[in-house]
Amino acid sequence: MKNVVLQSELLQVKRTILFAFGFLLMLSNVANAQQGKSKSNMHHETIGDPYIPNSNEGHKTSPSYQAKATSLFFMTQVNVDENGDNILGDAGNEPSLAVDPTDPNRIVIGWRQFDDVGNNFRQAGYGYSTDAGQTWTFPGVINPGIFRSDPVLDFDSEGNFYYNSLTVDDNDNMWCDVFRITDGGVEWDEGTYAQGGDKQWMRIDKISENGMGNNYSFWTSYWSICYPGAFTRSVNGGDSYEDCVENDGNPYWGTLAVGADGTLYIVGASDLTGGIIVAKSTSAQNSGIVVGWDSYTNVYLGGELSGWTEINPQGLLGQAWVDTDISDGPGAGNVYVMAAVSPYSSNDPGEIYFAKSTDGGENWQLPVRINDDDISSNNTQWFGTMSVAPNGRIDAIWLDTRDNPGTYMSSLYYSYSIDQGETWTVNQKLSEAFDPHVGWPQQNKMGDYYDMVSDNEGAHLAWANTLNGEQDVYYGHIVPQFTGIANSVRKQRISVVAYPNPFSEKATVRYELKENGHMNLAIFDLFGKQVKSLVDKEQSAGTYNIQVEAGDLAEGVYYCRLNTNGQSETVQMVVIK
């Protein structure tokens, strides 16, 4: 009995420390935002080492890394020489790719190219394949000797390729140029000035009637050629880009997506909310008017975007991803968000969470955890990447240390959903483990992101790893195979979130029941004392919302606990007055 009491007391102490830490962290985030400080200010590209010409002629080589192909996964190294060998002493990271929809044999991958790991000067590297990724040619870089970073590639419906590249001058002025391949070949044009700033992302409308071919991009407003502007658009095939406009909610570290109806969505972290938001524009598709924003909404993913952790000390744990279902199936029009987040409710360094909206981004359902390992402070999931196939299948990959707990050794993992994100297949390991700290080019990171494009047959992946003893760029092709639904998802019968959080007047507690049962929902203080009963009755399966008034709650940290059918879920709530 004493052991039981002691364990309970230790658990309560742990909860108290955790919630207190979360409270202080949230207060810090709000205070920093009010003072003009932000997470976004922590990240921006700068020129470090000077450019040193390196022709790679006479370079030393080693065999390129070739994993044994399986029915699930094929991968091959991209940054290789004319003989298909690995170039010793260079590095590449932050890859992005484009696949020609009119000829899937044509694939292009771009990345940050470091000619020498002893020098952090980076350029716009790229490689291409004309045989569906089986073999690759690495012709060099775009604009040799010009500092370039944050490569983002995309394609249009006609099979033209676009390469958005950030550059910085000696005065820390930042802008982007977009290069094109429009002749079915393999050489880029001279590039077009495209406004821009740090950690930009680009997306082209490939399907809607009004916006077909529109090229959209956004970036971190704080590090931009046109602050506070952080968005631009081209409506003439990339011949020119419009003046910058501000983004609603000022998102950063995220991506864009376009729905079948031409609606544009941007996801990212926001200093205004301290969380993750999705901004929406139905007017961006209309070329005759200035882009405007309908709204932005908070997306609760159980945590926040983060970085500068031990596993990737000078980079992100990954960016936020948004995509849409353009199929004519049951998920048509759905909007999806996924990211590797640092959870609010635990000290687990990284988890992969997913949320969806079935009403055009106006409201978001409770998040689902995709990685099916046990929650543990010794495991990290990072660089989560998502894409949606035209038939509605959702693909997700990430790096995962679960096989080597307590270390940085990371393997590539995969899961997919064919029921609009309700359930996910058992996580599948795609690669051997590698040490992400190998081969850093005078930057202590593996970059900030991977990239993926899904079609109805599978997913094309551009990623970086150190399986060859260096930091190199790889192409992967994933063929989904049904392996069963992950136990952690199948057993999840209840969930609860609260928003806004923190709150000063009132908050909404949103909870979901997957089956009928007696439901008890109550708010407790840090010492486990119930301070408010919200619901205590039989309820049918479904999603419910209840308002919580802050009037009779003192400022501080609370937790809201949902109990039903032998299961319990808890969410932290913070009252600020």
- Domain ranges (residues) in the chain: 2-37+493-575, 42-487
**CATH number assigned to the domain with residue range 42-487, chosen from the 4 options 2.120.10.10, 1.10.3720.10, 3.60.20.10, 3.40.50.1110:** 2.120.10.10
Separation between Cα atoms, residue 567 and residue 517, nearest integer Å: 11
At 61 the pLDDT is: 93
At 319 the pLDDT is: 97
Instruction: Count the neighbouring beta carbons within 10 Å of the beta carbon of residue 292.
Output: 12
What does each of the 577 residues of the chain score in pLDDT, given as a tens digit?
Answer: 333 333 334 434 433 443 344 344 444 444 444 344 467 676 778 888 989 887 666 689 999 998 888 889 999 999 999 999 999 999 999 999 999 999 999 999 999 999 999 999 999 999 999 999 999 999 999 999 999 999 999 999 999 999 999 999 888 899 999 999 999 999 999 999 999 999 999 999 999 999 999 999 999 999 999 999 999 999 999 999 999 999 999 999 999 999 999 999 999 999 888 899 999 999 999 998 999 999 999 999 989 999 989 999 999 999 999 999 999 999 999 999 999 999 887 778 899 999 999 999 999 999 999 999 988 788 999 999 999 999 999 999 999 999 999 999 999 999 999 999 999 999 999 999 999 999 999 999 999 999 999 999 999 999 999 999 999 999 999 999 866 656 444 344 566 777 777 788 888 888 888 888 898 999 887 666 889 999 999 999 888 888 899 888 988 878 788 888 767 777 778 888 8
Strand 276-281: give its sheet, edge to edge.
256-258, 264-269, 276-281, 295-299
SS3 94: strand
At 70 the pLDDT is: 86
Classify each residue of 260-287 as buried b or exposed e, where b means 16 or more C-beta atoms within 10 Å of its C-beta: bbbbbbbbbbbbebbbbbbbbbebbbbe
Separation between Cα atoms, residue 479 and residue 534, nearest integer Å: 47
Classify each residue of 194-219 as buried b or exposed e, where b means 16 or more C-beta atoms within 10 Å of its C-beta: bbbbbbbbbbbbbebeebbbbbbbbb
Residues 6+ apart with CB under 8 A from 495: 366, 367, 511, 512, 562, 569
At 494 the pLDDT is: 61
Tokens 């999603």 belong to residue: 543
The CA-atom distances, in angstroms, between 465 and each of 352, 383, 447, 470 are 19, 12, 11, 8
* Homologous superfamily of 2-37+493-575: Macroglobulin (MG2) domain (2.60.40.1930)
